Structure 1
């Protein structure tokens, strides 16, 4: 700011703090090197009087910042902004329809034993090495499948003629594909790519192909990825509709204004649609999991509604003191818009930390969620001010009740609550910590694994196929394991190979937990031996995980080491176990990197090591509590039936890692918005207790409504057909509730009152090293901007 000509004290706009231009030791943000506002007093220097709002007449105006200019320009040219968004939306959606890719799970783990075994099978022409297998299970109920030989042959030929089908194994001609009583069997159909990613209409073609068997009275069910394709598709759409509907009700009741409810919905919907289309284009050149679009919608709707809601709320408040709606929109984006930007970058940074797992599947899930988070933030920062410009000062013209704003005085319920917490901070700190600690207890018994089709509702064909295979062949038949053995030159000797084969077969069948094992057979080139092991327990059971460890650590080394041969376990069940082990091993690294990144960001924004450290610790507490709820419901079975899960299941191996990154990022959203307002009041008053109360009061309504909206969006996805999506939905919904209640209403005000002025302390050397990033900007942008 240009120094006034009379060399008097110049007051910074927006903070209400004074700076003495002749004192070079003062910081540019209006605080001294201890982080206190200057008018809070210094040794040997009296505190200046409280400045009047706004800059003095003699002060030269500072140029408006980029965010302020962007918000103001969008509000003054609203139809241009709306048109540009529509053009972008049409372009990316059209491009996605034309060139978008498919979503399918890829659990490959380069460099691991299970991946090496799969690559060896492919390289040496091992049995069933090509394509993606899926089972079509047949059951007669009475009589045998042999009595339907003609229909079986017809169906086999029809299936082989379908697009993307590489081969079809006939149950009447394939060893092990028919039960001893001949009543249950299965086709093994190998597809060029995962049928789970095919168009839904593909199921109709499969239905027509198997019609002769159904006409003969044979039960036909689809297992594996083909069964996943045949899941009901309306549930996820219903989840989205319920989430949006709940958001409408909450926004109308919370703010009373139709515009305040409509603008966040429009902004979030546009952001999600653009993000999903962009994700589809990325899927054409990168591998994304099948759950990616659902996760992207969940995240995009949640944060998109929140970000736009924060802006609309601030704008309505500024309209009371700023006559020009476009200028009010500019100031809104310059203030709360910065908090939106910081919050979105925090979420994106947390999601980027998923790449530290070293597993591409997990990292790309983070990308999928991050795309809609960023497009949601971009829509909030540009489309929302454009809509506010269209509304002008008539934003509350259509209302369902008297519109409400942030409180102006100190007698509201939130000020009284903050005063109560300030009087008994230790009581509320211990109470909040106890609640989160109690909820986190089940997390200590978390068991990672893979949720298979056995957890699906019985109305799904994949579950019925799973049950038919379990009843006819045993539960382990749903998760066989392939043993691949490489042979050295001694192993190629006929006598030595015969001894190796006999010894390996005895070792495999004699291993506790093995229901059956085929005799090891050579590949066509004789370089490998291959055996199929069927566990006596279901794929998701703890006993199956124990069996795989025994096979890998004891059975194979003891049987193969004397011959200089090496064994590998591969197949879907073994891959999922390895996937789980790798994620469990690398989770601490992901946690460390995400927490460190968030700490540095908050330290840079709020210039306080204690505030940044406190935020990280409180977020870890709330995350632990949400983990505990997920374990209690899905693993312990407490209320799982209400969610459509009728048996105890392990926690899906990648859910904790995903939940941590997402929850940590979302928790930081509310932390940034709350702390931004507390810091704003601290810079203006220097009174820590009053700043905590004022910050809590000014954000209480909007954060509460935002939390209800986001929670409703997440919990609506409990209707999803995927148990994994249900886990994520419950965990994320619970975490938002805990963060908006226990953390924000109890722990944050209690800790900040206990720390007092130490909240804003920062070592001088560290303060000089850190870049400056103010999340709220100037509360009152430059006069030049106002008058422009």
Structure 2
């Protein structure tokens, strides 16, 4: 693979104009196609086959009128004066403004708080529902502005007016906050390269790759069921790794220039060495993301494949376009500063100063390992109490109108209003059916945590009735989960006593079932990922102990990540520091997502750091010296790569949507723990303690394993041989001969 990438790097550099224009053309074509087709994204997270999903399908068959995919906006109002919403003056004001909203051609129905009987017991709060002729995601900005204008008029008249609903609130797909993360990444790159111009290159190529990947996802959403947050996740990961991959190749290119190689030769070598590591790193991330499909949950599969597509494009951009741009920039990209190699005292001091961290870790390996393990182990403790669920507007900023609408509804109808349950009651339709149903309802009312139970609504068949239940607790409360479990566990007894079959569905029950299914799938997914990581690393490093150490480090960083987000998000600590707006369960698909993504990123850092150690060990046979060399040559790049990841995720953390914020928060600290504690502290310490035994591999296994040559060792051997030929025969063209 390394030789192939070497040739590819030389070809891209030689055909720089074609490669650059071709890459831009692909981006523009995909953008034109994507924008003409438009995104077909949804915000659902359902899993076919769940009990609640099957019950919901049965409910839709019996009550087809319930199926309504039209977008809706709820205009929630509260009287801030002595008057109630039912006073004549307020009634006339609200009625007149709702008539204005109804004039919108996109509006199909407007139901006032007086018609839907939503006015609260004290008469202060109620809401109107506005229905549109399109799905919520397609409600136009013009329609929203019309409702916002009405809300402004109501506020001026002494009412609090807030908006929520599928027609108004949508998950963010992108925004200006990501730019902040990119600016921080540019600062990191500028410091790492010592040049603003050089620092811009990784961001430029990453943006082109991300743009192409996102456009392809939008096109794909027209053919495949794609959740909207899949695009957000793909954007986060694609941008971060795109910058990192370009960073690795450009850093190696500057090193080769410093070694005295001609520009095209340096580009080709960088693509053959660092490019090999980039390809392997990209493959591991893609495997981790695509591995989410083995769980058999459609929305997770879509998320993983969408993000994997962005990673694939980022790898292609790195190995095709980066070499072309490096050649196009000519002498503007300078070699890495290198002191005289004559062994001066000053040079030796500079080398020592540049590897102080390596000297500390290798000089006190036990301290480094114990300190790192103790730190991450302590942070991981809250993980054992982690509870998963969904997030809603309660976790949004109070500055947003949808959060204020949520609070008004909680004030008016109780927190259980946001966690409704729907019970499908099936009888035999006989003469005693009504009495049996009444008996079942009476038994339901005896259960703890029941708020209100609406009268049963009979269906056309006469055998199935619909019962709406409002719990006394919210959707994130364990008591709501317990209520669903109790209804299901007592269903057999109720059927035996009252001859009524009870089944629970509704959005709350569906979310509970999804969370349970994801929790059950997590251990299996972890075993698959950890096993895969071990096999891949055995092939890469041709060692047994190094992969074991890498896998244990991954498990440690994963535990710390999940523990820390539990500590902050679920337990409510440090929320002011990270600007979260309330306690919530951990997003149900987050643990699996973190496992898949963190696996790939952890292997990235492991490969870039330890491969350099292996390269040095094969030359010198000195284990400690190889650890020092790995930290000296790759430690700075891994540090910069980690900081870039953190910068990008920080930008996404500034988004308003709580789902995106929590995802980016988890990935931010996942990278922080893995790159800076595991890879830069624990790994060098363990490698020092293991010594030469770290590189042991049975001979029979060595013969069976394929030689992946991630370090580009074969390329460097070939280059050295050609250099010797060049000395003997000045007419030899080194680059041309290598290409042959």
1:85-104 alignment, distance < 5 Å: 85-104=23-42
The alignment status of 1:173 with 2:108, answered yes or no, reads no
1:518 aligns with 2:467: no
State how many pairs are aligned. 713
1:451 matched residue in structure 2: 391
Q: 3-state DSSP class of the match of 2:468? A: strand
Q: Please state if 1:567 is matched with 2:502.
A: yes
- 1:499 to 2:424 alignment: no
Q: Deviations over 1:605-663 (max 9, x none)?
A: 22222211211110110111111221122222222123332322221111111112111
Q: Is residue 436–residue 500 contact of structure 2 (8 Å, CA) maintained in 1? A: no
Provide, for residues 39-67 of structure 1, a one-character-per-residue CA deviation record: whole Å limited to 9, x for no partner.
xxxxxxxxxxxxxxxxxxxxxxxx98221
Q: Deviations over 1:728-767 (max 9, x none)?
A: 2222112222222221222111211222222222233333
| C-alpha separation in 2, matches of 1:469 and 1:640 | 24
| Other-structure match for 2:282 | 344
User: Structure 1 residues 280 and 509, CA, compared in 2 at 3 Å: closer, same or farther?
Assistant: same
User: How far apart, in 2, do the equivalents of 1:623 and 1:64 lie?
Assistant: 31
**Aligned equivalent of 1:683:** 618
Alpha carbons of 1:571 and 1:279: their partners in 2 closer, same or farther (altered >3 Å)? same
Name the SS of the counterpart of 2:66 in structure 1.
Answer: coil
Tell me if structure 1 keeps the 8 A contact 2:3–2:715.
Answer: no
Instruction: Provide the secondary structure at the position in 2 that maps to 1:228.
Output: coil
Shift of 1:301: 1.5
Alignment of 1:57-68 (within 5 A): 65-68=3-6
Q: Match of 1:80? A: 18
Q: Which residue of 2 aligns with 1:391?
A: 329
- The residue that corresponds to 1:137 in the other structure is 76
CA contact (8 A) 1:126 1:523 kept: no
How far, CA to CA, are the matches of 1:603 and 1:259 in structure 2?
A: 39
Equivalent residue runs for 1:170-209 within 5 Å: 170-175=112-117, 177-189=118-130, 195-196=136-137, 198=139, 200-207=141-148
Preserved CA contact (<8 Å) 2:252 2:270: yes
Distance 1:613 1:200 in 2: 54
* 2:374 equivalent to 1:438: no
Greater helix percent: which structure? 2
Do 1:351 and 1:369's aligned partners in 2 also have CA atoms closer than 8 Å?
Answer: yes
CA contact (8 A) 1:335 1:779 kept: yes
1:484-539 Cα offsets, whole Å, 9 max, x none, are 1233xxx211x321122211221222221111001212113324210100111122
SS in 2 for 1:762: coil
In 2: Cα distance, 1:162 partner to 1:365 partner: 36
Distance 1:353 1:414, change over 3 A: farther
State whether residues 227 and 461 of structure 1, in contact with CA within 8 Å, keep that contact through their aligned partners in structure 2. no
Which residue is equivalent to 1:38? none
Q: Does structure 1 retain, via aligned residues, the 8 Å contact 2:152–2:161?
A: no
Partners in 1 of 2:432 and 2:572 — Cα distance? 51
Q: Choose which of 508, 525, 528 in structure 1 pairs with 2:464.
A: 528
Matching of residue 425 in structure 1 with residue 365 in structure 2? yes
Query: Structure 1 pair 192/684, CA: closer, same or farther in 2 (3 Å)?
Result: farther
Among candidates 636, 639, 650, match of residue 574 of structure 2: 639
Equivalent residue of 1:670, what SS? helix
Instruction: Label 1:679 to 1:95 Cα distance change in 2 as closer, same or farther (>3 A).
Output: same
Provide the residue aligned with 1:478 in structure 2. Answer: 418
- 1:251 lines up with 2:251 in the alignment: no
Using structure 1 for the length normalisation, give the TM-score. 0.85
Query: Residue 672 of structure 1 is aligned with which of 607, 619, 622?
Result: 607
Q: Displacement, 1:372?
A: 1.8
Rounded Cα–Cα distance in structure 2 between residues aligned with 1:199 and 1:736? 39
**Conserved 8 A contact 1:655-1:724:** no
- Name the CA distance, whole Å, in 2 between partners of 1:689 and 1:560: 71
Matched, 1:308 2:246: yes
2:483 aligned with 1:541, yes or no? no
What corresponds to 1:693 in structure 2? 628
1:193 to 1:667, Cα distance in 2 relative to 1, 3 A: farther
Conserved? CA contact 1:406–1:697, under 8 Å:
no
Tell me how far 1:587 sits from its aligned partner.
0.6
**Aligned counterparts of 1:405 and 1:632: Cα–Cα separation in 2:** 47
Q: Kindly indicate whether the alpha-carbon contact (under 8 Å) linking 1:160 and 1:167 is maintained by their aligned counterparts in 2.
A: yes
Partner residue of 1:228? 169
How big is the shift at 1:71? 0.6
Aligned partners of 1:543 and 1:95: how far apart in 2? 49
Partners of 2:97 and 2:459 lie apart in 1 by 29
Over 3 Å counting, the alpha-carbon distance change for 1:113 and 1:170 in structure 2 is farther
Per the alignment, do residues 606 and 222 of structure 1 end up closer, same or farther by CA in structure 2, a change over 3 Å counting?
same
Judged with a 3 Å threshold, the aligned counterparts in structure 2 of structure 1 residues 152 and 651 are, in CA distance, closer, same or farther, namely same
| 8 Å contact from structure 1 (residues 484, 528) kept in 2 | yes
Counterpart-to-counterpart distance in 1, 2:340 and 2:156: 68
Go from structure 1 to structure 2 and tell me whether the alpha carbon gap of 1:166 and 1:616 turns closer, same or farther (over 3 Å shift). Answer: farther
Q: Tell whether 2:540 aligns with 1:602.
A: no
Gaps of 5+ in 2: 723-732
Residue pair 2:449, 2:471 contacting (<8 A) in 1 also: yes
- In structure 2, the residue matched to 1:463 is 403
Match of 2:726 in 1: none
Q: Per the alignment, in what secondary structure is the counterpart of residue 685 of structure 2? A: helix
Which residue of 2 is the match for residue 9 of structure 1?
Answer: none
Distance 1:211 1:696, change over 3 A: closer
Q: Does residue 585 of structure 2 align to residue 650 of structure 1?
A: yes
The separation in 2 between residues aligned to 1:427 and 1:406, in whole angstroms, is 35
Determine if the alignment matches structure 1 residue 262 to structure 2 residue 204.
no
User: SS state of the match for residue 537, structure 2?
Assistant: helix
TM-score by length of structure 2 reads 0.90
Give 1:594 shift.
1.4
Which segments of 5 or more consecutive residues in structure 1 lack a partner in the other structure?
Answer: 1-62
Q: 1:625 aligns with which of 560, 565, 587?
A: 560
Query: Deviation per CA, 1:137-163, whole angstroms, max 9, x where unpaired?
Result: 232334343435555556666666757
